[in-house]
Amino acid sequence: MKQKTGRSFITAFSGLCYFFLHEKNGRIQAIICVCTLILAVLFNISSLKWIAVLLCSGSVLCLEMLNSALEKLADIVEPAFHPHIKILKDVAAGGVLLASIISAIIGTIIFLPEILRYL
């Protein structure tokens, strides 16, 4: 049992590495996440704000990973253009976009007052 659990972590970590090394959007989202975390440290935000930042960042990254996986699978299932596959990919990308917009709004609510304090 222990060996199976350890293998699961190795496999999951391999997926993380693949995502951040090979997916352009993954790298972009990771850079935005790191910048947000640096801002959170610099502004010494409250625990509640940290929770919001981490939930937003994690949600966007996780959805981007799922979107990438779904696109890869769809391309294997149907390499040629198919209208249903297009809808599937568009809806998945829309989920990432929605999470990103909501996260940007939450980030603005958290960080804008801090930034304005220094101007």
- Residues tagged active-site: 64
Is residue 60 within 8 A of residue 29, CB to CB? The reply is: yes
Alpha carbon distance 51, 28 (integer Å): 22
| Closest CA relative to residue 39, chosen from 117, 104, 100, 110 | 110
- Alpha-carbon distance 110 to 108, whole Å? 5
